[in-house]
Amino acid sequence: MEWYLLKSAACLLIFFVFYKLFLENISAHTFKRFYLLGGIAVSFLIPFVTFTTYVEIPQTANTVFTSVSANEVIPAEERINYLPYIIWTIYGLGVVFFGFRFFRNLFNIWRKIQQNPILKKRNFFHVLLQKKIAPHTFFSYIFLNKTKYEANEIPKEVLLHEQAHAQEKHSIDILFIELLRVLFWFNPLFIFLKRSMKLNHEFLADRAVLNQGTETSRYQNLLLAYSSTASTPQLAHSINYSSFKKRFTVMKTHTSKKAIWLRTLLLLPVVALMLYGFSSKQTIVKQTSQTETVSEKSKEKATKAQLALYNKLAKKYNAVAIEERKIPVTDLETLEDIYGIMTTEQKNSAQPFPECYLENKIGRYDTYANDFVEGAKKNGKKTFVIMISINNVTLNGKPSSIKTFKDDLNAITKGWKKSDFNEALPSILISKNSESFLKKLEVEFQKTDYAQYKKGATLLIPPPPPPAPEVPKPPKKIIKGVNGTNGNIPPPPPPPAPKVKKGEKSTIPPPPVPDAPKVPSADNGNLYMVPQAPPPPNPNLVQYIKELAKKGATFYIGPHKYKAEEAIKMVQKSKDASIDVSEYPIVRLNGC
């Protein structure tokens, strides 16, 4: 609601400024009358305009890491936000006050009509008042001083001026703008719009009098004679309306049709910019399978030779039970490359892609976002869930994109208080992703209200801390005279390893899980050991395993240990594989 009011007010301001700069002083008074009324209507309609964009995104896959969990036990807190009640109360009081004033003015006019004599002249009603007043009009009722009217002291031009107001129904415009002032009393623009509208009504009435053959100079002197400080009703039109100087200038102005058309054409780009800037944007997403992430229009077809090779390999490995299926790296890469450039028709007619056995798929990924948000809501906390997979992103389970990400996230955090930002525990899940896509998304994330408030928040996994400075090793202790040499004392040989004879049960305990490798560090001269951090995540899982292996990591799938080469093969066979380095140097492979 707040955004609608701001957008509508901005459109109304642009229309009004354009009127003051380009239209007010031209002689196209009838066009200006409908411009002011139409500008108000269009200002209310533009924020309702919605431009829809249709995009396709793939369904997301299993993730590499989760930042937080909503299942943590958080004490529920009951909070009541009183701000909306306060705002609506103030608004309601304003409507009551300005509404009372509006109906009081209507009642005063009605009472004048009821309590004073009325003379009907053609289609007009002359209401004769005892008070000294300037002539004024409300619909078909023209209010005149009785004494002057009966003495024939009211000039014919004055009556023509008021009859023009009545005949052209200028009171309808004033009632319309007054009702809007009651509803939008907090917007001062309607005060200035009413003034411009009433001034243009005077231009129209002045033109009607001059078109009857009245001399301009005589009519101007007559207006000056009727200028006074006598007050007239807010809802009526009076001949002594202010801005005589501008009225006199416009009386002598004649704007050519060409100039009017040129100024009107200037309005077209203004309206176009308002439509672009203040309308709503909507993205409707069609989810497709992850293997169809690239539109067929932007891909090449697989050739007949490539299809034949793909079908041959796929048929070969589909014949093996999925639990025992093992695909060499070279064959797996060939299958993936060909499948990636196949069209939908080719995929439908080809052999199904030989998937690998998923033995570690944890939880329901499709309902994770909803479950996470609901869990936080039950605990009285604000949160959001970002899921990133390849070149796609979802917010709270709803598809988003790089272009709409900032607005989508701001819509979620809209209305959050300071405490909400402080206590929020968002969940960020990243699966296989494009590095360039993640960097672009990070740029948009930094523009969001959440990132602006939470300094240092990022979608990217921060790099590991720099290695501690190398501490020089202490010199080896040398003892002279041992065995006739000056060299170092050699360490004692290790005890022989226990042996188990064939057929006997081993009592040798399994080796302990190695601790994380440590690097020496120094602090004020004291030497201590710092656990070495794993290398930063790499979207290429095969390359990441190689980097981890170089750092001395050990790889496990469930309770079983695997070599780096075996881990690489398992990851290449699975499209849902993920790597967990939370127990580094123990690395666990999921989804393989």
Q: What residue ranges do the domains of the chain occupy? A: 83-251, 285-349, 515-592
Give residue 283's pLDDT. Answer: 65
Give residue 168's pLDDT. Answer: 93
C-alpha span between 17 and 15 (Å, rounded)? 6
* Mean pLDDT lowest among 45-59, 113-127, 231-245, 264-278: 231-245
State the DSSP string of 209-268. HHTTT--HHHHHHHHHHH-------TTSEETT-S-HHHHHHHHT----HHHHHHHHHHHH
pLDDT digits (tens, 9 = 90+) for 495-540: 555 554 545 554 555 555 445 455 444 444 443 444 567 778 777 8
Q: What are phi and psi of 555, to 5 degrees?
A: -115, 135
Binned at pLDDT 50, 70 and 90, residue 63 comes out as very low
* Cα–Cα distances in angstroms (integers) from residue 304 to residues 334, 345, 346, in the given order: 15, 13, 10
* For residue 493, pLDDT beyond 70: no
Give residue 257's pLDDT. Answer: 86
* For residue 481, pLDDT beyond 50: no
- H-helix segments, 388-465: 405-413, 418-423, 435-445, 449-453
The most confident of the ranges 333-337, 354-358, 477-481 is: 333-337
**CB contact burial 34-55 (16+ within 10 A = b; e otherwise):** ebbbebbebbeebbeeeeeeee
Give residue 472's pLDDT. Answer: 57
* Cα–Cα distances in angstroms (integers) from residue 538 to residues 401, 534, 556, in the given order: 22, 11, 19
Give residue 280's pLDDT. Answer: 83
Give residue 55's pLDDT. Answer: 60
Give residue 426's pLDDT. Answer: 87
Any bridge partners for residue 395, and if so which?
386, 398
Mean pLDDT of the region 334-356: 83
C-alpha span between 387 and 396 (Å, rounded)? 8
The most confident of the ranges 172-181, 210-219, 250-259 is: 172-181
Among the listed residues 384, 392, 462, the one whose alpha carbon sits nearest the alpha carbon of residue 427: 384
Give residue 460's pLDDT. Answer: 72
Strands 118-121 and 124-129: antiparallel
Residues in the chain: 592
- H-helix segments, 379-522: 405-413, 418-423, 435-445, 449-453
Give residue 73's pLDDT. Answer: 41
User: Interhelix angle for 304-318 vs 329-340, to 10°?
Assistant: 130
C-alpha span between 331 and 189 (Å, rounded)? 71
Residue 327: both structure tokens together? 């695909």
C-alpha span between 95 and 187 (Å, rounded)? 12
C-alpha span between 391 and 386 (Å, rounded)? 13
Mean pLDDT of the chain: 78
